[in-house]
Structures are given as C-alpha cells and as structure tokens.
Amino acid sequence: MSDQTRFILNESDLPKAWYNILADSPVAPAPVLHPQTLEPVTPDFLSVLFPMELILQEISSEAYIDIPEPVREIYKLYRPTPLIRARRLEKMLDTPAHIYYKNESVSPAGSHKPNTAIAQAYYNKAAGTKAITTETGAGQWGSALSMACNFFDLDLEVYMVKISYQQKPYRRVFMETFGAKVYASPTDRTQYGKALLAKDPDNPGSLGIAISEAVEVAATSGGVKKYSLGSVLNHVLMHQTVIGEEALMQMDMAGEYPDVVIGCVGGGSNFAGLAYPFLRQNLKDGQRTRLVAVEPTATPSITKGSYTFDYGDTAKMAPVVKMHTLGHTFVPAGIHAGGLRYHGMAPSLSALCDAGLIEAVAVPQLATFEAAIKFARSEGIIPAPESAHAIRTAIDEALDAKQKGEKRVIVFNLSGHGHFDMSAFEAYLSGKLVDYEHPAEAIAEAIKDLPQVVLPV
C-alpha cells in the first residue's frame, strides 16, 4: 500500500481504447424500438439523428473500440485525470476505511462530460455534419459539448431545462463563450415546446422535454443538424470508460483494490465510466467489488421506477428502450442536482441492476449537501450537487466500516466541481433547501402512459 495522496499517470498512459460492456455482459440487450411502430429501429431511422459511426458503436459487440488520435490529442488537455486518496476526509470521519476519488472536475468544462462530447463532435465532423442540437440539465453536458463543437467548428443549439437555466446563468454564459446558442426549455421554437407553454406558461421543464425539443429540431432539419446526447446510450457510456481504465492503473499504483465503487446516476454515464471496467474485472477475473449507483430520492428511477420499455423523451419522438423509468411524462421537483433529473436510466445499466450485478441507493437532498460541505472543508474542492450524491454514499460506507471496525477500500467518481452551483450552496447554508421524495402515487400515474410493447417469442 502506497503512502501517496495523489496518483498521477503520464500522457503515455492515456487509454487507447474505450471498453464496451456489451461484449462481456451476461445480460442480453433488449431491442431498441421505433417510437411510432414499436418495431426494432433500423440504422436508417437512427441516421436522422446520429452519424453512422456512432450508430455502429451503439450496437457493437466488440469489447474495445479504438479512440481516434484527434480525440486523444484533445483528451490530453486534461487526461489522465488524478486519483486522490481523501486522507483529510478519512481523518474527519475517523474511519479505518481508505477513500479514493477520481477527479473528473479538472477538465476544461469542469466535469466528466467532455470524454464523450469530444468523441461525438469528432464523429459528427468526420461525417460532414455542420450543426448539432442537444439538451442539458444542470449545464455540464451543454458546457462540454459547446467546447467540443468549438474545437471541431460545429454550430450548436442547446435546449436547457428552464429551472436550471434560471438557477445557473453562468452555465449559459459558459456555453455562449464557446459560440453555442442556449434556449430555456420548453421554448416557443418547436411545435412541442409551444404546445406545452400553451398549457402551462410556467412549465419548469425537464430533461425529457428538452430532449424532445432538441430531437424535433434535428429531425425536421432536413439532415442539416444532428442530435447529440450526453448520457443513457451505449456509445456515450462507452466513451466514459477512460475513467475506469485509468482508475484501474492508479489503484495498482496505490497498491490496493476497491471493495466498493460508487457514482451518482442520472442517465448513468459517469457511474458507468468508472464502474464498467471494474465490473469487467468482476465478470472475467473473479473480483468481488460492489458497484453502487446513487440517485436522488426526488428522481428514484432505479429504486422506485419500473424496469420496462419507455420513451426516451416526453414527446415520444426518441426511440423506445427498456430501462428503469418513472414514466416519460415525469416532471421532477426543482432539486439543484439538475443532471440527475431524468425520468429513465441507461438501458445497459438498468439491465445490470435488474440482474443484481449493480446496487442502487437513493439519498435525500439535505444529506447530500451535508456531505458536500464535509468534502469541501476536508478536501478543499466544492463538488457539483450531482457528485455530492456519490460523496454521501462514500461517507456512509466509511462510517459503516468504522462501526464494524473493518478496513474498506472505497473509490468514487467526483464527476464535476460545483463552481457554477453557488446558488444551491447558498440555499443550503441559509436553510432554504428542503428534502423531496417523489410520491408513489405520482409514479403510479406516470407509469400508466407507458408504451404497450409485445416482443416476438
């Protein structure tokens, strides 16, 4: 075991390939369905939204996909990212546990999101795309994609969930600095947005709504614009696995191996990015690491949702996938972890949770911010509210180890910093934040509108 605090890889250690969990998963993926016919989608349908190379990655069964050199060159602006032993947090908690965190907040956009944004912008540019549409919740994804589109000279339209647009104005400014156009969703720029505003001019928006608007703009552009998604899809989660591949090398440097790996989940990308390479080691090398996905009690898609087929967006324009879902009509409470307010969860992650290979827990907002403050005051980094969910569970694991008097090696993903989230911390410190647990009756009501899928035997 090393007595170091920071475990730093060289540029030469930057992974040369992304890892595809579908190659080793014991769970066969469910088909992706057309939103109108509920028949399996064709590449032609998907090509309206995505360049063909990303479609091929989405359905690939290859274990590794080579990372193009232009993507690796941009990765080198911030990768490999450091793995940090949280010694001061351990001391604060007086725990025998060893706590490590992968610090993805060091990227230029302040989160893990550039890992796929750069890749998606590259493949779109290579396919001749001129402009991209997307959605963003807290703004981390929009920030990353605006930077990536700037690097590859692509225009970008961002549909930002209205409540986050209002809570986080400097995220909008960040995106506009890189040349993106940012709109508070729902907007009057789309037919779907207009319909929603006619019913409720004060609609706070949701990720499902913002996805619908971005998809509508791309699908009706006559091929001029493509759509880009920051989580959920297989190719997105795969691009994030550079995190876990680096972490495996860094744990070797530390002379330890994790008993538990933790990440927050909204769509699933940062958790999968860290956890999937460790899951591979469980499946192929006999390791027994627990993998824990952490969601808010306000958006409990895994812990309280249904594992079934549902639309990826509210307007029923995006493909239908089998996932843990609260129902595509779900409109979340305005919690400050905007990146965790999606109604569903990545299909691959959902299937692995359903099979018992990944655990899921839900934590409330106040306990999450309490953990964020502890982390900031011990480790010196103000975390994003999303990442604070992972910190909450890492602290709970460390305290459980203390109670049981056992050493436990804990690794979590610090998926982003909270420098654009000061209004959330101000609300917490002034006692204005409240806990919110999504009511069971609201979940039951949303589930009524699920698509009725009958698969051939």
pLDDT for residue 138 is more than 90: no
Mean pLDDT of 327-354: 85
- Reported as a pLDDT band with limits 50, 70 and 90, residue 334 is low
- Give the pLDDT band (50/70/90) at residue 2: confident
| DSSP code, position 382 | -
Predicted confidence at residue 335, as pLDDT, reads 65
Average pLDDT taken over every residue of the chain: 94
State how beta strands 17-19 and 64-66 pair. antiparallel
pLDDT at 43: 86
Of residues 28 and 431, the one with the higher pLDDT is 431
Which residue do the tokens 């939204």 mark? 49
378-428 per-position pLDDT tens digit: 999 999 999 999 999 999 999 999 999 999 999 999 999 999 999 899 999
Single out the residue of 412, 394, 429, 423 nearest to residue 97, CA to CA: 394
% of the chain at pLDDT higher than 70: 98
Residue 368 near residue 321, CB atoms below 8 Å = no
pTM for this prediction: 0.95
**Matching CATH number, 6-14+78-110+235-447, of 3.40.50.1100, 3.30.1360.120, 3.30.43.10, 3.40.190.10:** 3.40.50.1100
The H or E element spanning position 309 is: strand 306-311
Q: Which among 161, 113, 152 has a CA at the least distance from the CA of 337?
A: 161
Residue ranges covered by each domain of the chain: 6-14+78-110+235-447, 17-67+113-234
The pLDDT score that the predictor gives to residue 342 is 85
How confident is the model at residue 456, as a pLDDT?
Answer: 67
Question: Percent of the chain, pLDDT > 90?
Answer: 84
pLDDT digits (tens, 9 = 90+) for 96-121: 999 999 999 999 999 999 999 999 99
The CATH number given to 17-67+113-234 is 3.40.50.1100
Most confident of 151-155, 337-341, 434-438, 446-450: 151-155
For residues 111 and 140, the answer to whether their CB atoms sit within 8 Å is yes
pLDDT digits over 273-297, tens only?
A: 999 999 999 999 999 999 999 999 9
State mean pLDDT over 307-329. Answer: 91
> What is the pLDDT at residue 172?
94
State the Cα–Cα distance between residues 335 and 435, nearest whole angstrom.
9
Instruction: Answer left, alpha or beta for residue 316, where phi above 0 means left and psi between -120 and 50 means alpha.
Output: left
> What is the CB neighbour count within 10 angstroms for residue 389?
33
DSSP lists the bridge partners of residue 160 as 136, 184
- Is the pLDDT score of 310 beyond 60? yes
Place of tokens 């605006």: 146
What confidence category does residue 457 fall into, taking pLDDT thresholds of 50, 70 and 90?
low
The 3-state secondary structure of 203-220, one letter per residue: CCCCHHHHHHHHHHHHHC
Of 169-178, 313-322, 352-361, 381-390, give the lowest mean pLDDT range: 313-322
Task: Indicate whether 233 pLDDT > 80.
Answer: yes
Residues 345, 349, 350, CA angle at the centre, nearest 5°? 60
User: Are the C-beta atoms of 324 and 318 separated by less than 8 Å?
Assistant: no
Q: Is 17-67+113-234 in the same CATH topology as 6-14+78-110+235-447? A: yes
CA–CA distance, 402 with 41 (Å, rounded to integer): 50
pLDDT classification of 122: cutoffs 50, 70, 90: very high
Q: Chain-centre distance of CA 146, in angstroms?
A: 17
Confidence band, pLDDT 50/70/90 cuts, at residue 449: confident
Find, among 309, 355, 328, the residue nearest to 455 by Cα.
309
